[in-house]
């Protein structure tokens, strides 16, 4: 059966302090490909194996963080169906005209209870992945750096956590796949709109609207180790890793872009189906849930956001 409804994360728009430094980081170090620029100074990037024109937008700003995260829906009627669901949930929506982001169709924006700008869209220009659709090669030869395959997910910090999770599961049809709990209180929730371990995740926090990290898929554990080499060679600020998560089983490394936005690259996480059970980690085992090998939390990982 084909996926319908919300298909996947479509893009993330990140605020950066120096656009040239940011473009160098994401293109030369991580291997994203620049596809466009606009009159507002925004730079559009894609990972090599993505068909859509962009999955990352870099926005010049005087502060780091996330402007918005957008999800692509299957059809235009799905866009209006989910907008109606969001309104019924009790949130206001805003229609952003086609072309406001170059190559992207009309978007519906709303503010989730945790303070994050979330958008939905149905149409985006497709530019291909640089590999023919007949007799395709397995990979492109011109990709630089870490060779990120796709923009995968964001982890977001916010208040009103319970209402945010209700919004995504009740109005947007996401599936809760894993969680961290402290008794009856959910500390973290990992949500999927596909068969991936998660497409977005939320951690309960006193501050609203914060970005913990934007994450990108690599091809293997060996590629994660190569990313660690690049981080050291290029003197990129390292946060944690390389290591493994208990949550989602991903092989991972975390580091910071020049503006202080945290990035993750990872490989080999788990998967879900509609009948998969929810996996639960208890707060007394949270160290192993997040960093399976050391079983110890890292202060910077838990305390730094943008």
* 243-265 per-position pLDDT tens digit: 999 899 889 999 999 999 999 99
What's the half-sphere exposure (Cβ side, CA atoms, 13 Å) at 69? 24
Question: Active site includes 264?
Answer: yes
Architecture per CATH, domain 6-121, reads as Roll (3.10)
**Would you state the pLDDT for residue 1?**
41
Residue from 83, 212, 213, 255 carrying the catalytic annotation: 213
Question: Active site includes 212?
Answer: no
Q: Is the Cβ–Cβ distance between 179 and 281 less than 8 Å?
A: yes
What residues does each domain of the chain span? 6-121, 152-303
Q: Do domains 6-121 and 152-303 have the same CATH topology?
A: yes
Residue from 11, 68, 198, 212 carrying the catalytic annotation: 198
Question: Active site includes 245?
Answer: yes
Q: What residues are paired with 204 via a beta bridge?
A: 158
* 14-62 per-position pLDDT tens digit: 999 999 999 999 999 999 999 999 999 999 999 999 999 999 999 999 9
Residue from 11, 68, 212, 245 carrying the catalytic annotation: 245
For 40-64, give one letter per residue: b (16+ CB within 10 A) or e.
eebbbbbbbbbebbbbbbbbeeeeb
What are the pLDDT tens digits along the chain (306 aa)?
457 799 999 999 999 999 999 999 999 999 999 999 999 999 999 999 999 999 999 999 999 999 999 999 999 999 999 999 999 999 999 999 999 999 999 999 999 999 999 999 999 999 999 999 999 999 998 999 999 999 999 999 999 999 999 999 999 999 999 999 999 999 999 999 999 999 999 999 999 999 999 999 999 999 999 999 999 999 999 999 899 998 998 899 999 999 999 999 999 888 999 999 999 999 998 888 888 788 888 888 878 788
Distances in Å between the alpha carbon of 76 and those of 6, 8, 33, 107, 141? 11, 15, 28, 10, 35
H helix runs in the chain, sequence order? 19-24, 76-89, 161-166, 221-233, 286-290, 299-303
The length of the chain, given as a count of residues: 306
**Would you state the pLDDT for residue 241?**
87
**Would you state the pLDDT for residue 286?**
85
Residue from 141, 254, 268, 271 carrying the catalytic annotation: 254
Coil vs helix vs strand at 241: strand
Q: Quickly tell me which residue has 């870099």 as its tokens.
A: 58
Question: Active site includes 170?
Answer: no
- CATH assignment of 152-303? 3.10.180.10
Question: Which residues are within 8 A (CB) of 170 and not within 5 positions of it... i.e. 6 or more apart?
Answer: 85, 89
Residue from 153, 157, 178, 255 carrying the catalytic annotation: 153
> In 10 A of CB 279, how many CB atoms?
18
């Amino acid at each position: 059966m084909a996926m319908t409804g919300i298909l996947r994360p479509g893009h993330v728009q990140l605020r950066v302090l120096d656009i040239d430094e940011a473009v160098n980081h994401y293109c030369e170090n991580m291997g994203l490909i620049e596809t466009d620029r606009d009159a507002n100074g925004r730079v559009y990037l894609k990972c090599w194996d993505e068909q859509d024109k962009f999955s990352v937008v870099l926005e010049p700003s005087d502060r780091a963080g996330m402007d918005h995260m957008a999800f692509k829906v299957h059809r235009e009627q799905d866009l209006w169906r989910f907008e109606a669901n969001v309104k019924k949930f009790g949130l206001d929506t805003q229609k952003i005209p086609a072309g406001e982001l170059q190559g992207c169709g009309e978007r519906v924006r709303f503010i989730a209870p945790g303070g994050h700008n979330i958008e939905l869209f149905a149409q985006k220009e497709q530019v291909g992945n640089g590999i023919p659709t007949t007799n395709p090669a397995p990979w492109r030869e011109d990709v630089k750096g870490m060779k990120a395959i796709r923009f995968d997910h964001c982890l977001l910090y916010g208040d009103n956590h319970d209402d945010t999770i209700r919004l995504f599961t009740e109005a947007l049809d996401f599936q809760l796949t894993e969680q961290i709990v402290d008794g009856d209180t959910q500390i973290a929730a990992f949500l999927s709109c596909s068969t991936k371990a998660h497409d977005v995740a939320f951690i309960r926090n006193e501050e609203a609207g914060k970005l913990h990290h934007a994450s990108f898929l690599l091809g293997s554990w060996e590629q994660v180790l190569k990313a660690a080499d690049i981080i050291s060679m290029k003197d990129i600020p390292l946060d944690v890793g390389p290591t493994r998560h208990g949550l989602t089983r991903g092989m991972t490394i975390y580091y910071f872009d020049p503006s202080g936005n945290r990035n993750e690259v990872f490989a080999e996480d788990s998967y879900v189906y509609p009948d998969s059970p929810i996996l639960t980690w208890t707060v007394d085992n949270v160290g192993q849930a997040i960093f399976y090998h050391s079983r110890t939390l890292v202060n910077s990982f838990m305390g730094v956001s943008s």
